[in-house]
Amino acid sequence: MKAMKKLTYIFTLLLIPVLLAGCDSKLIVFDPKGPVARNLSDLIVYSIIFMAIIVLIVFVLFGFIIWKYRARKDDGDFEPEEEEGNHLLEVIWFVIPIAIVIALMIPTAKTIYEVEDIPQGYEEEEPIVIHVTSADWKWIFSYPEQGIETVNYLNIPADHPVQFKMTSAGTMQSFWVPELGGQKYTMANMQTNLFLVADQEGSFYGRNTSFNGRGYAHMDFEVQAMSNDDFNEWVQDVKNTANDLTEDEYSELLKPTVIGRKTYNGTHLEWIDHAHGGSEQYIDSDLYEIHHGEEDSSGEQEQAEDTEQETNDNAEQESEQSTDSSTHEDHSHH
């Protein structure tokens, strides 16, 4: 028993470099900056240590048994006794795996339910609502209460719950801010919900984790958690200085391009909420066409390359506000 304790201790020590790596490398999942991410990282650490201990025990037993029951020269023609069934052993090797599964399942189920709700300790506060609309290849954030909209960056008040109402204008994407919480998919014509809290001020990295074509690698954004005063000041600033978001400008935004940050007065929710249908008429499927072979490469090929470049504000294909005729009302894959 004492040896076991020692082994556990040594193994935990061996794991420390792996776990600490989160602090100064890219393993930001292990460097949580809010209760949701902390909950998830605790579960991951618990599961890794728990399973590592089991693996260690199995390998130690394996080595020991191979060594103890090895064939020896002086064995002669030793024949082991025939054995049939052993109740004690059978009970042991059924009970132990069941106990392992329960020990992993209970904390996992608990965490899964916890991260779906307003984080613990923040239930009393009214969450600020931010609509997330993902498009190829940018993130659009609408603040209906504040009446402003941003592209590719997100400012939130620190130490305050945020409710994200997420959808997609076209293909499926996944919203992930590893330092604040887990990832969640965004899909056209439906809404997914996510609660996050940053319990400290700072800048956090966010990105899409669901591959969606050429601009995928560029589809990231910054989350800036700031004090309440700074946040309100920023909102006021935007309202005073930013351009109004027009429907034309918005249609332009939804073209498959990689662009930088943008800030607008007003939100697109005033005329379209992609969570509740209507996405199709904003998606120009012609812009996605990739031409293979030599025959008709000229114009389109260039255009495909254009979309890779940074902001391409002037609309070349204004006329092509084509609508995808195959409007699928039914969303049957759920």
User: In the complex, what is the shortest distance from the CB of residue 192 to Cu ion, in angstroms, rounded to a whole number?
Assistant: 9
Residues 6+ apart with CB under 8 A from 306: 257, 312
187/245 with CB nearer Cu ion: 187
User: In the complex, what is the shortest distance from the CB of residue 307 to Cu ion, in angstroms, rounded to a whole number?
Assistant: 24
Quick check: helix, strand or coil at residue 247? helix
140/187 with CB nearer Cu ion: 187
Contact 109, 143 (CB under 8 A): no
57/190 with CB nearer Cu ion: 190
What tokens were used for 38? 């902390």
Amino acid identity of residue 214, one-letter, is R
User: In the complex, what is the shortest distance from the CB of residue 273 to Cu ion, in angstroms, rounded to a whole number?
Assistant: 15
User: In the complex, what is the shortest distance from the CB of residue 185 to Cu ion, in angstroms, rounded to a whole number?
Assistant: 8
152/171 with CB nearer Cu ion: 171
Contact 175, 194 (CB under 8 A): yes
What tokens were used for 67? 């060594």
**CA dist list (Å): 257 to 216, 286, 308, 309:** 10, 13, 6, 7
User: In the complex, what is the shortest distance from the CB of residue 148 to Cu ion, in angstroms, rounded to a whole number?
Assistant: 28
39/171 with CB nearer Cu ion: 171
Query: Site residues (CB under 5 A) for Cu ion?
Result: 187
- Nearest to Cu ion by Cβ — which residue? 187
Amino acid identity of residue 68, one-letter, is K
Number of other residues whose CB lies within 10 A of the CB of residue 162: 23
189/281 with CB nearer Cu ion: 189
User: In the complex, what is the shortest distance from the CB of residue 188 to Cu ion, in angstroms, rounded to a whole number?
Assistant: 7
**CA dist list (Å): 57 to 3, 6, 51, 225:** 11, 12, 10, 44
CA distance 23 to 31: 6
What tokens were used for 40? 């998830």
